[in-house]
Amino acid sequence: MPVLVGLISWFLIQQALGATSSSSLKGATPRILTAPEAKPSITNRSICTGSYCLPPGYSSLDPPTLSPQPLQIKIELDQIRIIEFDDKLFTVSFSLFLAVHWREWRLQGPPPSPTAPYQAIETQFIENLWVPDIYVYNMERINRVLTDHKGRLFVVNGQDIYFRQEVVVTLWCPARFDFYPLDKQECMFRIGSYQYSTSKLLFSVTSLEQDKTRPNTLLDYSKMDIISGADDLFVWKNIGNYSVAGFRLKIKRRVFKFLVNYYLPSGMFVLVSWASFLIPPDLIPGRMNLLVALFLVLINIFNSVTRQIPNSEVRSRISLETKLKG
């Protein structure tokens, strides 16, 4: 009997709990998990920073073009300094300050100041602006380019956007080492748009400055020119022509290190070998010991040179000269 009473009590308690939970679910609003809302490309309200605002309806996907003429994108390249030239990977790395300058007529703000044309604004404001889709040709890697807030953003003359940041870029550079270490290489830094053709955007370099205060200890920059002619235009199949701007860098190697470590010692050993003619011909062991010792030393120098020279289609100049001396 006590067991039957216990079972009936347990059944009544379960019925009461079920009714309570069902009534609470009927009155509750179900919670639906949704993905984070994407940032709209068209603003329905004004977005401001300081005294400058973007009007309602501003689209960050449309370039600020007013006339059939293409939008001028001005590139400034300052304090260019070569960091490394990799003979094995055929790459060149250098640091520079990259500045991009374009007209944004949709920007609203106070009239330009004749004494202070550059007005600094919050760098985060660039997230709301249309920016050129910068593309660096033959790029192996780059640390940043118009993708973060590590830079300076200015409004110039009331309606121009000026963004400047320091970048470190590594480019593929075709190189030949037939005359190593007296070789000269030529690399091109070309920047343009990946999406807009010459009918929409036109790139040009307005400033090109080399950093001469921190030269590389092994490389010498013999010449630096702004690219022109056929190099400032990229033609891709039948899609269209794309404007390209940048510079051509000619590099030559400093040879003092190789003169001291290879040319001078091997030349001295050759001069010493001529001393064997001063030894009487009947002293064959003495002459042979001198010549064999010098020959082994030259072979050691040749092996050291062979391990360090980069790959080339033919024998490099330094390996041929060292081999001939041996």
Q: Does residue 78 sit in the same domain as residue 221?
A: yes
In angstroms, rounded to a whole number, what is the distance separating the alpha carbons of residues 80 and 93? 10
The answer, yes or no, to whether residue 200 has pLDDT greater than 80, is yes
**193, 227, 254 — which closes off a domain?**
254
In angstroms, rounded to a whole number, what is the distance separating the alpha carbons of residues 192 and 133? 8
Extract the tokens encoding 258. Answer: 């190789």
Domain range for 169: 47-254
Q: 71 near 200, Cβ under 8 Å?
A: yes
Confidence of residue 71 (pLDDT cuts 50, 70, 90): very high
215 upstream amide cis, omega within 30 of 0: no
Beta bridge partners of 253: 219
Q: Does residue 184 sit in the same domain as residue 212?
A: yes
What single DSSP character describes residue 278? G
DSSP string, 210-271: E--SS--SSEEEEEEEE--GGGGEEEETTTEEEEEEEEEEEEEE--HHHIIIIIHHHHHHHH
Q: Does residue 275 sit in the same domain as residue 246?
A: no
Q: Does residue 239 sit in the same domain as residue 261?
A: no
Which of the pair, 318 or 76, is modelled with greater confidence? 76
Which of the pair, 326 or 232, is modelled with greater confidence? 232
Q: Does residue 160 sit in the same domain as residue 96?
A: yes
What single DSSP character describes residue 66? -
CATH of the domain at 281: 1.20.58.390
Q: Give the number of other Cβ atoms within 10 Å of residue 261's Cβ.
A: 14
**254, 274, 302 — which closes off a domain?**
254
Enter the pTM of the model: 0.71
pLDDT tens, residue by residue, 153-175: 999 999 999 999 989 999 998 88
In angstroms, rounded to a whole number, what is the distance separating the alpha carbons of residues 254 and 187? 17
- Judge whether 20 lies within some domain: no
| CA 158 from centre of chain | 31
- Judge whether 71 lies within some domain: yes
- Judge whether 42 lies within some domain: no
- Judge whether 14 lies within some domain: no
Q: Does residue 219 sit in the same domain as residue 273?
A: no
What is the number of domains present in the chain?
2
So what's the pLDDT on residue 11?
52
Q: Does residue 174 sit in the same domain as residue 235?
A: yes
Q: Does residue 99 sit in the same domain as residue 122?
A: yes
So what's the pLDDT on residue 320?
56
**239, 254, 269 — which closes off a domain?**
254
Mean pLDDT on 65-75: 88
Specify the range with the lowest mean pLDDT, choosing from 26-35, 80-89, 251-260, 303-312.
26-35
The chain-wide mean pLDDT, for the chain, equals 78
So what's the pLDDT on residue 290?
77
In angstroms, rounded to a whole number, what is the distance separating the alpha carbons of residues 302 and 261? 12
Burial readout 40-53 (b: 16 or more C-beta within 10 A, e: otherwise)? eeebeeebebeebb
| Cβ-based neighbours of 6, under 8 Å, separated by 6 or more | none
Q: Does residue 266 sit in the same domain as residue 309?
A: yes
pLDDT tens, residue by residue, 101-144: 999 999 999 998 889 999 999 998 988 999 999 899 999 888 87
In angstroms, rounded to a whole number, what is the distance separating the alpha carbons of residues 132 and 98? 13
- Judge whether 186 lies within some domain: yes
In angstroms, rounded to a whole number, what is the distance separating the alpha carbons of residues 136 and 92? 14
CATH of the domain at 77: 2.70.170.10
